[in-house]
Amino acid sequence: MTGIEINKNLQIAIEASLKAGEEIMQVYDTAFDVEMKEDKSPLTEADKKANDIINSFLQPTPIPIISEENKQIDYDVRKKWDTCWIVDPVDGTKEFIKRNGEFTVNIALVHNGKPQLGVIYVPATKTLYYADVLKKQAFKSELTSHNTSIEDVLEQSKPLQTKPTTNNIEIVGSRSHMSQETLDFVDELKTSGKKVEIVSKGSSLKFCLVAEGNADIYPRFAPTMEWDTAAGQAICNAVGVQVISNETQKSLLYNKENLLNPWFLVSKQ
Protein backbone atom coordinates (compact mmCIF):
# COMPACT_ATOMS: atom_id res chain seq x y z
CA MET A 1 0.00 0.00 0.00
CA THR A 2 1.65 3.23 -1.08
CA GLY A 3 1.19 6.66 0.47
CA ILE A 4 1.92 5.58 4.06
CA GLU A 5 3.91 8.17 5.98
CA ILE A 6 5.85 6.49 8.74
CA ASN A 7 7.13 7.84 12.05
CA LYS A 8 10.96 7.77 12.22
CA ASN A 9 10.99 5.75 15.46
CA LEU A 10 8.50 3.30 13.98
CA GLN A 11 10.77 2.85 10.97
CA ILE A 12 13.73 2.14 13.30
CA ALA A 13 11.67 -0.41 15.24
CA ILE A 14 10.60 -2.15 12.01
CA GLU A 15 14.18 -2.33 10.74
CA ALA A 16 15.35 -3.68 14.12
CA SER A 17 12.65 -6.35 14.15
CA LEU A 18 13.50 -7.57 10.64
CA LYS A 19 17.21 -7.82 11.38
CA ALA A 20 16.50 -9.57 14.69
CA GLY A 21 14.11 -11.95 12.91
CA GLU A 22 16.81 -12.92 10.45
CA GLU A 23 19.20 -13.75 13.31
CA ILE A 24 16.49 -15.68 15.18
CA MET A 25 15.81 -17.90 12.17
CA GLN A 26 19.50 -18.70 11.80
CA VAL A 27 19.46 -20.08 15.36
CA TYR A 28 16.07 -21.75 14.77
CA ASP A 29 17.60 -23.87 12.02
CA THR A 30 20.36 -25.23 14.30
CA ALA A 31 20.49 -27.63 17.26
CA PHE A 32 20.37 -24.79 19.81
CA ASP A 33 20.80 -25.13 23.59
CA VAL A 34 18.15 -24.07 26.10
CA GLU A 35 19.03 -22.47 29.46
CA MET A 36 16.62 -21.85 32.33
CA LYS A 37 16.54 -18.38 33.90
CA GLU A 38 15.98 -17.76 37.63
CA ASP A 39 12.22 -17.44 37.05
CA LYS A 40 12.27 -20.88 35.34
CA SER A 41 11.53 -19.36 31.92
CA PRO A 42 13.60 -20.70 28.99
CA LEU A 43 16.37 -18.77 27.27
CA THR A 44 18.11 -19.55 23.97
CA GLU A 45 20.92 -18.07 21.93
CA ALA A 46 18.22 -16.50 19.74
CA ASP A 47 16.94 -14.37 22.65
CA LYS A 48 20.44 -13.04 23.36
CA LYS A 49 21.44 -12.37 19.74
CA ALA A 50 18.12 -10.73 18.87
CA ASN A 51 18.37 -8.55 21.97
CA ASP A 52 21.86 -7.36 20.98
CA ILE A 53 20.65 -6.47 17.49
CA ILE A 54 17.58 -4.59 18.72
CA ASN A 55 19.66 -2.68 21.28
CA SER A 56 22.06 -1.64 18.48
CA PHE A 57 19.14 -0.06 16.58
CA LEU A 58 17.34 1.53 19.55
CA GLN A 59 20.22 2.85 21.66
CA PRO A 60 21.09 5.69 19.21
CA THR A 61 17.52 7.07 19.40
CA PRO A 62 18.47 7.82 22.49
CA ILE A 63 15.28 6.70 24.27
CA PRO A 64 15.83 4.35 27.26
CA ILE A 65 15.01 0.67 26.80
CA ILE A 66 13.17 -1.87 28.93
CA SER A 67 13.91 -5.32 27.48
CA GLU A 68 13.26 -8.75 28.90
CA GLU A 69 16.91 -9.62 28.23
CA ASN A 70 18.49 -6.38 29.51
CA LYS A 71 19.44 -5.92 33.14
CA GLN A 72 16.37 -4.35 34.74
CA ILE A 73 16.78 -0.76 35.85
CA ASP A 74 15.59 0.41 39.28
CA TYR A 75 12.22 2.16 39.35
CA ASP A 76 13.85 5.17 41.04
CA VAL A 77 15.52 5.77 37.67
CA ARG A 78 12.71 4.55 35.40
CA LYS A 79 9.99 6.67 37.03
CA LYS A 80 11.71 9.77 35.63
CA TRP A 81 11.25 8.49 32.06
CA ASP A 82 8.28 9.91 30.17
CA THR A 83 9.14 7.84 27.08
CA CYS A 84 10.78 4.43 26.71
CA TRP A 85 11.09 1.43 24.44
CA ILE A 86 9.65 -1.87 25.68
CA VAL A 87 11.14 -4.93 23.98
CA ASP A 88 10.78 -8.70 23.94
CA PRO A 89 13.43 -10.02 21.53
CA VAL A 90 11.73 -13.44 21.30
CA ASP A 91 8.18 -13.55 22.65
CA GLY A 92 7.06 -17.17 22.83
CA THR A 93 10.39 -18.83 23.55
CA LYS A 94 8.44 -21.99 24.43
CA GLU A 95 6.93 -21.94 20.94
CA PHE A 96 10.40 -21.32 19.50
CA ILE A 97 11.72 -24.40 21.33
CA LYS A 98 8.75 -26.46 20.08
CA ARG A 99 9.55 -25.15 16.58
CA ASN A 100 5.90 -24.38 15.80
CA GLY A 101 6.64 -20.94 14.31
CA GLU A 102 4.40 -19.03 16.76
CA PHE A 103 7.01 -16.70 18.22
CA THR A 104 7.50 -13.00 17.63
CA VAL A 105 9.75 -9.99 18.01
CA ASN A 106 7.95 -7.30 20.04
CA ILE A 107 9.03 -3.65 20.06
CA ALA A 108 6.88 -0.83 21.47
CA LEU A 109 7.38 2.85 22.17
CA VAL A 110 5.55 4.00 25.30
CA HIS A 111 4.85 7.62 26.34
CA ASN A 112 3.50 8.45 29.81
CA GLY A 113 2.64 4.78 30.32
CA LYS A 114 0.67 4.42 27.08
CA PRO A 115 1.83 2.53 23.97
CA GLN A 116 2.15 4.85 20.98
CA LEU A 117 4.04 2.74 18.44
CA GLY A 118 4.12 -1.04 18.12
CA VAL A 119 5.89 -3.61 15.95
CA ILE A 120 5.33 -7.37 16.01
CA TYR A 121 7.37 -9.46 13.60
CA VAL A 122 6.78 -13.17 13.01
CA PRO A 123 10.13 -14.42 11.68
CA ALA A 124 8.95 -17.93 10.75
CA THR A 125 6.38 -16.56 8.27
CA LYS A 126 8.03 -13.17 7.58
CA THR A 127 4.80 -11.44 8.63
CA LEU A 128 5.05 -7.93 10.07
CA TYR A 129 2.43 -6.02 12.05
CA TYR A 130 3.02 -2.37 12.94
CA ALA A 131 0.97 0.52 14.27
CA ASP A 132 0.93 4.21 15.11
CA VAL A 133 -1.71 4.71 17.82
CA LEU A 134 -1.91 8.50 17.53
CA LYS A 135 -2.58 8.23 13.79
CA LYS A 136 -5.01 5.34 14.39
CA GLN A 137 -3.16 3.31 11.76
CA ALA A 138 -2.21 -0.37 11.90
CA PHE A 139 -0.92 -2.53 9.06
CA LYS A 140 0.10 -6.06 8.18
CA SER A 141 2.87 -6.68 5.68
CA GLU A 142 3.64 -10.17 4.36
CA LEU A 143 7.26 -10.19 3.23
CA THR A 144 9.38 -12.54 1.14
CA SER A 145 12.68 -11.76 2.89
CA HIS A 146 13.95 -10.46 6.24
CA ASN A 147 16.20 -8.17 4.16
CA THR A 148 13.33 -6.01 2.95
CA SER A 149 13.65 -2.24 2.57
CA ILE A 150 11.25 0.02 4.43
CA GLU A 151 9.87 1.11 1.03
CA ASP A 152 9.01 -2.50 0.18
CA VAL A 153 7.50 -3.04 3.64
CA LEU A 154 5.17 -0.09 3.05
CA GLU A 155 4.40 -1.29 -0.48
CA GLN A 156 3.25 -4.68 0.89
CA SER A 157 1.24 -3.19 3.78
CA LYS A 158 -2.50 -3.67 4.16
CA PRO A 159 -4.60 -1.89 6.83
CA LEU A 160 -5.86 -4.06 9.70
CA GLN A 161 -9.61 -4.28 10.14
CA THR A 162 -11.42 -5.77 13.13
CA LYS A 163 -14.19 -8.35 12.89
CA PRO A 164 -17.85 -7.26 12.75
CA THR A 165 -19.81 -8.11 15.91
CA THR A 166 -21.90 -11.29 15.62
CA ASN A 167 -23.41 -13.86 17.96
CA ASN A 168 -20.48 -16.18 17.19
CA ILE A 169 -17.61 -15.34 19.53
CA GLU A 170 -14.08 -16.41 18.63
CA ILE A 171 -11.87 -16.36 21.72
CA VAL A 172 -8.10 -16.44 21.53
CA GLY A 173 -6.57 -18.91 23.95
CA SER A 174 -2.91 -19.28 24.76
CA ARG A 175 -1.05 -22.16 23.14
CA SER A 176 0.88 -22.83 26.36
CA HIS A 177 -0.98 -21.09 29.21
CA MET A 178 -4.75 -21.81 29.26
CA SER A 179 -5.74 -21.12 32.88
CA GLN A 180 -8.82 -22.39 34.69
CA GLU A 181 -10.06 -18.79 34.95
CA THR A 182 -9.95 -18.52 31.16
CA LEU A 183 -11.92 -21.73 30.80
CA ASP A 184 -14.49 -20.38 33.31
CA PHE A 185 -14.77 -17.17 31.25
CA VAL A 186 -15.49 -19.23 28.13
CA ASP A 187 -18.17 -21.24 29.96
CA GLU A 188 -19.80 -18.01 31.16
CA LEU A 189 -20.05 -16.72 27.59
CA LYS A 190 -21.58 -20.00 26.47
CA THR A 191 -24.27 -19.84 29.16
CA SER A 192 -25.20 -16.33 27.93
CA GLY A 193 -26.27 -17.90 24.64
CA LYS A 194 -23.19 -17.08 22.58
CA LYS A 195 -21.69 -19.62 20.21
CA VAL A 196 -18.07 -19.79 21.31
CA GLU A 197 -15.05 -21.07 19.43
CA ILE A 198 -11.51 -21.21 20.82
CA VAL A 199 -8.60 -20.18 18.59
CA SER A 200 -5.21 -21.20 20.05
CA LYS A 201 -2.09 -19.15 19.39
CA GLY A 202 1.27 -18.57 20.99
CA SER A 203 3.03 -15.30 21.85
CA SER A 204 1.77 -11.79 20.98
CA LEU A 205 0.07 -13.21 17.88
CA LYS A 206 -3.04 -13.37 20.06
CA PHE A 207 -3.30 -9.57 19.97
CA CYS A 208 -2.81 -9.60 16.20
CA LEU A 209 -5.67 -12.08 15.70
CA VAL A 210 -8.11 -9.65 17.35
CA ALA A 211 -6.67 -6.58 15.60
CA GLU A 212 -6.91 -8.16 12.14
CA GLY A 213 -10.44 -9.54 12.56
CA ASN A 214 -9.66 -13.25 13.08
CA ALA A 215 -10.96 -13.27 16.68
CA ASP A 216 -13.23 -11.23 18.94
CA ILE A 217 -11.76 -11.49 22.43
CA TYR A 218 -8.48 -12.39 24.09
CA PRO A 219 -8.87 -12.95 27.84
CA ARG A 220 -5.56 -13.27 29.68
CA PHE A 221 -6.11 -14.50 33.22
CA ALA A 222 -2.53 -15.62 33.79
CA PRO A 223 0.78 -13.79 34.33
CA THR A 224 2.38 -11.65 31.61
CA MET A 225 5.10 -9.03 31.69
CA GLU A 226 5.01 -5.57 30.10
CA TRP A 227 7.27 -6.68 27.21
CA ASP A 228 4.77 -9.44 26.36
CA THR A 229 1.94 -6.98 25.76
CA ALA A 230 3.09 -3.42 24.93
CA ALA A 231 3.52 -3.89 21.16
CA GLY A 232 0.33 -5.92 20.89
CA GLN A 233 -1.61 -3.28 22.80
CA ALA A 234 -0.34 -0.58 20.44
CA ILE A 235 -1.53 -2.55 17.43
CA CYS A 236 -4.91 -3.21 19.03
CA ASN A 237 -5.41 0.37 20.28
CA ALA A 238 -4.66 1.73 16.80
CA VAL A 239 -7.74 -0.10 15.43
CA GLY A 240 -10.03 0.65 18.38
CA VAL A 241 -9.50 -2.57 20.33
CA GLN A 242 -9.07 -2.04 24.08
CA VAL A 243 -6.71 -3.88 26.45
CA ILE A 244 -8.41 -3.51 29.82
CA SER A 245 -6.93 -4.35 33.22
CA ASN A 246 -9.10 -6.57 35.43
CA GLU A 247 -7.85 -4.57 38.43
CA THR A 248 -8.55 -1.01 37.29
CA GLN A 249 -11.05 -1.52 34.43
CA LYS A 250 -8.82 0.87 32.49
CA SER A 251 -6.13 0.36 29.83
CA LEU A 252 -2.97 -1.46 30.83
CA LEU A 253 -0.19 0.98 31.69
CA TYR A 254 3.56 0.58 31.21
CA ASN A 255 6.87 1.37 32.91
CA LYS A 256 5.18 0.57 36.23
CA GLU A 257 7.18 -0.06 39.41
CA ASN A 258 6.27 -3.74 39.01
CA LEU A 259 6.67 -4.81 35.37
CA LEU A 260 4.25 -7.70 35.91
CA ASN A 261 0.86 -7.03 34.26
CA PRO A 262 -2.47 -7.56 35.97
CA TRP A 263 -4.92 -9.93 34.25
CA PHE A 264 -6.58 -8.27 31.27
CA LEU A 265 -9.18 -8.56 28.53
CA VAL A 266 -8.65 -7.59 24.87
CA SER A 267 -11.86 -6.71 23.01
CA LYS A 268 -13.67 -3.98 21.08
CA GLN A 269 -16.24 -3.48 23.86
Residue span of the structural domain in which 155 resides: 8-159
Q: Are residues 109 and 214 in the same domain?
A: no
Q: How confident is the model at residue 176 (pLDDT cuts 50, 70, 90)?
A: low
Is 248 within a domain? yes
Q: Are residues 151 and 174 in the same domain?
A: no
159, 194, 225 - which closes a domain = 159
159, 193, 210 - which closes a domain = 159
pLDDT in tens, 133-174: 999 999 999 999 999 999 999 999 999 999 988 888 999 987
Q: Are residues 38 and 96 in the same domain?
A: yes
Q: Are residues 74 and 128 in the same domain?
A: yes
> What is the CATH number for 194?
3.40.190.80
Q: What is the DSSP string of 90-106?
A: EE-HHHHHHT-S--EEE
Is 232 within a domain? yes
Is 1 within a domain? no
Lowest-confidence segment of 37-46, 122-131, 203-212 by average pLDDT = 37-46
Helical packing angle, 45-58 and 8-28, nearest 10° = 160
Q: Are residues 140 and 24 in the same domain?
A: yes
DSSP-derived letter for residue 217 is: B
125, 159, 193 - which closes a domain = 159
Q: How far apart are CA 217 and CA 265, in angstroms?
A: 7
User: Count of domains in the chain?
Assistant: 2
Is 3 within a domain? no
Q: Are residues 154 and 195 in the same domain?
A: no
Record the pTM: 0.95
Give the alpha-carbon dihedral of 131, 86, 26, 153, to 10 degrees: 20
> What is the CATH number for 126?
3.30.540.10
